[in-house]
Amino acid sequence: MEQLEDKYYKTIGKNIALELGLDLPQEMWLNLGSYAWMVTHFVKAERNRDAREAVNKAQWGDEQSEKRQDIVGANGPTGEHYDYND
């Protein structure tokens, strides 16, 4: 499986190098492709996090969302110390 991933990353790197007119040795294509793949997944994860945050703000409002995050951050996800009277 690793060989298939390396071939895939190398192809991505080659295409990026050709598209941008970069004169890179073939040994660099694998690094470029794997880096591009990592950046793409990082951006997707950030976009998903931002979407979840927007849903929380819409549901809880800005102040309540921050308060909820503080409570969860301080007490963990179990909700043992939630104060439901606030």
Q: Where are the domains of the chain?
A: 2-72
- Kindly give, in sequence order, each residue whose CB lies less than 8 Å from that of residue 31, ignoring residues fewer than 6 positions away: 13
3-state secondary structure the chain: CHHHHHHHHHHHHHHHHHHHCCCCCHHHHHHHHHHHHHHHHHHHHHHHHHHHHHHHHHHHHHHHHHHHHHHHHHHCCCCCCCCCCC
Between 53 and 65, the more confident residue is 53
**In the chain, pLDDT over 70 holds for what percent of residues?**
67
The mean of the pLDDT values for the chain is: 80
